[in-house]
Amino acid sequence: MYKILKKEELATNIFWMTVEAPRVAQACLPGQFLIVRSHEDAERIPLTICDYDREAGTIAIVYQPIGHSTQRINLLNEGDCFHDVVGPLGRPSELCEMDEEELKKMKILFVAGGVGTAPVYPQLKWLHEHGVDADAVQGAKTKDIVILEDLMGSVAGNLYITTDDGSYGRSGMVTQAISDLVTKEGKHYDRVIAIGPMIMMKFVCKLTQELGIPTIVSMNTIMVDGTGMCGACRLTVGGEVKFACVDGPEFDGFQVDFDQAMRRSRIYKTEEGRKMLKELEGDTHHGGCGNCN
């Protein structure tokens, strides 16, 4: 069993949990995720690993109780246990595989949208621990739902908060902040890593492509089963079928067909839609098809 050591409400309906999971904590790297089940009969829920402490044997998750399964997770409190915690799953961030000296020469900008801040934080933390400075733009609709600001600020070279309504930090979307940093404030970036809602990542990529900055995105938001077998996170990357959970969750943002992914996610939400997609896509509907790496 996996005991919950800490539960905290970060903002309205956004929660942090610290969970005992020694094996996951020992093996995980930034960019990876895990699957939890709150109860024996509960649905499997993939959640990004927001933080980990190898010595303490703990991991942290951030979640929003929206559907039935995440509502059941939120019924658990400190001292309670998850029935299952499986991980780490997915491929680690490519930054973890790069030469450290080369990384130190790069100027990296992270772009975090809403709860996408949770998977951005461990990457910034990992870079900070390896002596690599990286900036971050953190966006939210309003000041009330800005999360993890202190943690982000402690590991980012520069942290730029922006809110859609201008209630805190800079005013406007994250794309406006990126544009201002590069075109008005003279900032240079070799790489952008954007994590958040698909629509945000799409327009970040549109902008960074115009600015000539290679961009990585995380497609963790479309994962359901987390093993490639449900077909939920099927997407097209560079003209090839990929699955966020087994081939990602991170991909070259310029190669992702965002319009197809967003359209497909809407269809997948209904039982009728899932049946239609399975019929249309045939053997490439799920990650067990042998057509993906």
User: Where do you find CATH 2.40.30.10 in the chain?
Assistant: 2-89
Which pTM does this prediction carry? 0.89
Residue 98 C-beta-side C-alpha neighbours within 13 Å: 14
Q: Are 157 and 133 in contact (CB under 8 A)?
A: yes
Q: Are strands 191-195 and 108-113 parallel, antiparallel or unpaired?
A: parallel
CA-to-CA distance for 134 and 192, rounded, in angstroms? 10
pLDDT, tens digit, 9 for 90 and up, residues 238-284: 999 888 888 889 999 999 999 988 888 777 677 787 777 777 777 77
Q: What is the rounded CA–CA span in Å between residue 167 and residue 235?
A: 36
Q: What is the pLDDT of residue 192?
A: 97
Locate 45 and state its tokens: 């829920």
Burial 55-88, CB ≥16 within 10 A → b, else e:
eeebbbbbbeeeeebbebbbebeeeeebebbbbb
Query: Which residues on neighbouring strands pair with residue 140, listed in sequence order?
Result: 163
Which segments of the chain have a pLDDT < 50? 289-293
- The matching CATH number, chosen from 3.30.420.40, 3.40.50.970, 3.40.50.10240, 2.40.30.10, for 2-89 is 2.40.30.10
**Separation of alpha carbons 79 and 38, rounded Å:** 13
Intervals of CATH 3.40.50.80 along the chain: 97-218
97-218 classified as CATH 1.25.40.10: no
Q: Check residue 293 and give its pLDDT.
A: 44
pLDDT tens sequence across 186-221 = 999 999 999 999 999 999 999 999 999 999 999 888
